[in-house]
Structure 1
Amino acid sequence: MNLPNMLTALRFLLIPVYLIVFANGHMISAFIVFTAAGLTDVLDGYIARSRGLETTAGALLDPLADKLMLIAVIVSLLMAGIIPWAAAVLLFIRDIGMIAGSAFFHFRGKKTVKANWMGKLTTVLFYVALMFIFLELPYGVTLLWCVIAFSFVTSVMYIVKFRALNSRQTG
């Protein structure tokens, strides 16, 4: 259990904290907890890569922690009537597809595509959209729709890169 993996474990622990804070109506505090989880993600990735502390467990648990936090945020916003069902469904389809696809191909010995600038930009834009929503700023949901559309473009780019990477492996 190294420092990056401890930060990932902390992210798992922040999920119920976020849910409790949100359920008690503290929108700004809930966003702060969500943002803190995001910062631990950035920090654990940086530490793992810069210090050679990348582990198989970390590679699998890190995205799982991210996706579970995202699911908690989306479900809480949906149940509170803050975001529309269609937005939540599209986010779930995309994320479940990414998780299932990554796991399926990982266990079949296929190479996976590491996060690139478009994926990172999608994450930043998602946080910006959620900041607008949590702070009740105008156009938060509209911005979320734009980020959802961009996330599907990013997913297509990952699929194209994945296919190219693995066709070279077998070809």
Structure 2
Amino acid sequence: MTRAESTEVGSQVMTVPNGLSAIRLLLVPVFLILLAQGSDALALIVLAFSSLTDFLDGFIARRFHLVTRLGQLLDPAADRLYIFAALIGLAWRDLVPWWIVLLVVGRDVFLLVLGIILANFGFGPLPVHTLGKVATFCLFYALPMIMLGQAFPDLAWWSQPVGWAFALWGVFLYWWAGIIYATETMRVIRIPRVIVPVQSDTLES
């Protein structure tokens, strides 16, 4: 999940948390290939390793004050890529419907459009809403549960219903958070901006 915000955000690049996030990103294609080939157990191991490093890089960054701007980009990027890779891989094998993939990807495209609108009005990205974090957690928890039932059929009787419950709630909350972001974007861009006149130091003759 997204690394917790810190009052001090550094500009370092070579840190342990950033290294862990980079490893997670490099393992995304490995995870997708394993999933596409039907190696569900190995793909699940890669996903579990990713979840562990996700927890570790956030813990280390907060504990040792190593939160960086690069890390704030890499960490959520890795989360999104794993969600997209798992959804696309499972949909490719007809294990999840493609409409779920379109809803999740469509929501992130929707947020990208909102970000462009904000930038055009001179504003930065909106802060992450708690509902968005909950939605991401639901999706991040749902996909391994669905994969677990595929890798180990004896566990499917409970892992599949749990996985689908979290998946459906995750998609619903994902878009609910998106609507909140859209409402907040409309509110922000309507705030009148105060233009401070620049005073010249040159004296008129």
Name 1:144's counterpart in structure 2: 167
Name 2:137's counterpart in structure 1: 124
Q: After the TM superposition, which of the residue ranges 59-68 and 154-163 deviates more from structure 2?
A: 154-163
Please report how far the alpha carbon of residue 111 of structure 1 lies from its aligned counterpart in structure 2 after TM superposition: 3.4
* Structure 1 gap segments, 5+ residues each: none
Please report how far the alpha carbon of residue 80 of structure 1 lies from its aligned counterpart in structure 2 after TM superposition: 0.6
1:2 aligns with 2:25: no
Count of residue pairs the alignment pairs up: 171
Distance 1:115 1:32, change over 3 A: farther
Name 2:101's counterpart in structure 1: 88
Q: Is the 8 A contact 1:12 1:65 kept in 2?
A: yes
Q: Is the 8 A contact 1:112 1:162 kept in 2?
A: no
Return the letter of the residue paired with 2:76: P
- Cα distance in 2 for residues equivalent to 1:113 and 1:70: 22
Task: Please point out which of 127, 130, 133 is paired with 2:146.
Answer: 133
TM-score w.r.t. length of structure 2: 0.67
Please report how far the alpha carbon of residue 142 of structure 1 lies from its aligned counterpart in structure 2 after TM superposition: 5.2
TM-score w.r.t. length of structure 1: 0.78
Q: RMSD over aligned Cα, in angstroms?
A: 2.9
Distance 1:90 1:169, change over 3 A: same
- Cα distance in 1 for residues equivalent to 2:119 and 2:21: 20
1:32 aligns with 2:48: no
Q: Is the 8 A contact 2:131 2:173 kept in 1?
A: no
Q: Is the 8 A contact 1:5 1:44 kept in 2?
A: yes
Task: Please point out which of 28, 48, 51 is paired with 1:15.
Answer: 28
Please report how far the alpha carbon of residue 107 of structure 1 lies from its aligned counterpart in structure 2 after TM superposition: 8.3
Q: Is the 8 A contact 2:132 2:173 kept in 1?
A: no
Aligned 1:55-66 pairs, distance under 5 A:
55-66=68-79
* Structure 2 gap segments, 5+ residues each: 1-13, 150-155, 195-205
